[in-house]
Amino acid sequence: MSKIKPSQGAPYARIMGVGGYRPTRVVPNEVILETIDSSDEWIRSRSGIATRHWASDEETVAAMSIEAAGKAIADAGITPEQIGGVIVSTVSHFKQTPAIATEIADKIGAGKPAAFDISAGCAGFGYGLTLARGMVTDGSAEYVLVIGVERLSDLTDLTDRATAFLFGDGAGAVVVGPSKEPRIGPTVWGSEGDKAETIKQTESWEAYRNGAPDKFPAITQEGQAVFRWAVFEMAKVAQQALDAAGITADDLDVFIPHQANERIIDSMVKTLKLPEHVTVARDVRTTGNTSAASIPLAMERLLATGEAKSGDTALVIGFGAGLVYAATVVTLP
């Protein structure tokens, strides 16, 4: 018989608060057209994107995260000292070590929480949310801060006609805490590493260090392959998340997919047969693709504008480089 004492966590977990930060500089498609041969109409028709935000030198990964975290903590009605875990999902923090989560934890006054970074691309928020739920229910932390943050403008090749218009910067954060009822459903997540080459960094940091190439690495993708995968496979994952939560599309109030491309969003809505009453996040139009930050940023905007309200049932799904994905049903804070 085991002598290990069982964990004393909460029976369930929930999202208690949400916060976001968008850089002050708004970049319209006209700026992108200065370096690629395209048009505003083409960009909008292919992606739905009209503007995106790009960070200044002062709007670092840490600075944006701290702003979003402060809003989420205030929204949750707790103090920074109560945070027992900080999880940061990002692919654009350029220091291999230490984890940026440790700096953020210190700067927000969280004391000595567990703090670590994860790299799961555009599914990173879902991965972080799942880890946070486990920390709360197993008792290793009462409150966990989950941040998705990116400065993808640093990894954008402005001469690449296929990707130059896609990416934006920003940070989104949520606080996960204890609940007496299930407010974060089971996660359907996974990876398809055989498709890893469809979204990738052009060159490794090692190759860049050694002088080949002389151009700073950027994110590139095989657009049509990614589009087909997202449209046909991710709708299946979204349905599995609904099934795992024990609900149907009719039970949903809100759908918050990764804000990669509005055509992908429209296709998923159609495939899932979402009823007209379901509010669909379309933050991509003015924020672009912010990878790990896109879902919490979209969630924050829907709540701020009143398009969604506290207590609504929402399906969230992220998908991207890896290829990786994560979907779950949550109750909005």
Chain mean position to CA 165: 19
Question: Half-sphere exposure of residue 86, counting CA atoms within 13 Å on the CB side?
Answer: 30
What pLDDT shows up at residue 208? Answer: 87
What pLDDT shows up at residue 278? Answer: 98
Contact yes or no for 314/254 (Cβ under 8 A): yes
CA-to-CA separations, 93 to 26, 100, 110, 211, 228, in angstroms, rounded: 22, 7, 21, 21, 29
What pLDDT shows up at residue 142? Answer: 97
**CATH for the 12-179 domain, from 1.10.8.60, 1.10.760.10, 3.30.390.50, 3.40.47.10:** 3.40.47.10
Task: State pTM to two decimals.
Answer: 0.96
For residue 44 the two structure tokens come to 């909008």
Ranges of each domain in the chain? 12-179, 188-332
Nearest to 293 by CA among 101, 165, 133, 126: 126
Q: Would you say the C-alpha torsion 178, 181, 186, 187 has a positive or negative sign?
A: negative
Q: Hey, which residues are catalytic here?
A: 122, 258, 289
Per-residue pLDDT tens listing for the chain (333 residues) = 788 887 788 999 999 999 999 999 999 999 999 999 999 999 999 999 999 999 999 999 999 999 999 999 999 999 999 999 999 999 999 999 999 999 999 999 998 999 999 999 999 999 999 999 999 999 999 999 999 999 999 999 999 999 999 999 999 999 999 999 999 999 999 999 999 999 998 888 888 888 877 789 899 999 889 999 998 999 999 999 999 999 999 999 999 999 999 999 999 999 999 999 999 999 999 999 999 999 999 999 999 999 999 999 999 999 999 999 999 999 999
**CATH for the 188-332 domain, from 1.10.10.60, 3.40.309.10, 3.40.47.10, 3.30.565.10:** 3.40.47.10
> Which amino acid makes up residue 131?
L
Q: Which residues in 196-219 are b (16+ Cβ under 10 Å) and which e?
A: eebbbebbeeeebeeeeeeeebbb
- According to DSSP, the β-strands at 83-89 and 114-118 are parallel
Nearest to 282 by CA among 49, 22, 44: 49
